[in-house]
Structure 1
């Protein structure tokens, strides 16, 4: 079920998801997020950011996600904020939830 690199080509898992490692500025890869697309993985990473009080007032943070098995680094600007849960929320949902959004800035290729 995991990605395999065969002759330079990436084969995705049976469920279609790919793995993306969150890269720190020093090159360390601290976490791995999976998703069908790089944006889906970036949204998961953005939800772990420190949320602001509203979408307009929160800080934007650069997220660099390397697709596992490749030299491609997808660069996003991400932000998170607190929002009131919808009126029709299920009983288990808290009154305040964390929302997130991302904006793609580009792709870089590693030269390591």
Structure 2
């Protein structure tokens, strides 16, 4: 269901349970947010290294029966030179980046 600001809510499904909620205008935007929070990629320092072992994520679009299925991976990268002030204040030197590849849409039968 689309909110007034054009954003939609998606809930991550893990083992049939609704776990985390992500918001975005498009499903891919929510999937990218979810990818950055994946566990198990702490040692990956390049995208190619992380892409070799993708994780399947399933995002249920709230208010519909659609489940968006993605292969997702994440890796750690050095922080950009033009990082915002809060990163400079906390001396953050790395950021987590994520990427996704859509595998399809499934429909839940009610």
Secondary structure of the residue aligned to 2:58 is: strand
Give the distance between the partners of 1:86 and 1:74, measured in 2 at CA.
Answer: 31
The one of 81, 100, 104 equivalent to 1:106 is 104
Query: Could you say which residue in structure 2 is the equivalent of 1:6?
Result: none
Query: Could you say which residue in structure 2 is the equivalent of 1:13?
Result: 3
Instruction: Give structure 1 stretches of 5+ with no counterpart.
Output: 1-9
Structure 1 residue ranges (4+ consecutive) displaced by more than 3 angstroms after TM superposition: none
Query: Could you say which residue in structure 2 is the equivalent of 1:33?
Result: 22
Structure that is richer in helix per residue: 2
Tell me the CA shift for residue 21 of structure 1.
Answer: 0.7
Return the TM-score normalized by structure 2: 0.85
Instruction: Tell me whether 1:88 sits opposite 2:82 in the alignment.
Output: yes
Q: How many residues align?
A: 101
Give the distance between the partners of 1:72 and 1:88, measured in 2 at CA.
Answer: 39
Tell me the CA shift for residue 86 of structure 1.
Answer: 1.6
Give the distance between the partners of 1:36 and 1:90, measured in 2 at CA.
Answer: 24
Query: Could you say which residue in structure 1 is the equivalent of 2:71?
Result: 77
Give the distance between the partners of 2:85 and 2:6, measured in 1 at CA.
Answer: 32
The two structures, once aligned, show a CA RMSD in angstroms of 1.2
Per-residue Cα deviation, 1:11-63 (whole angstroms, up to 9, x for no partner) = x11111100010013x1110111100000000110010133221111231001
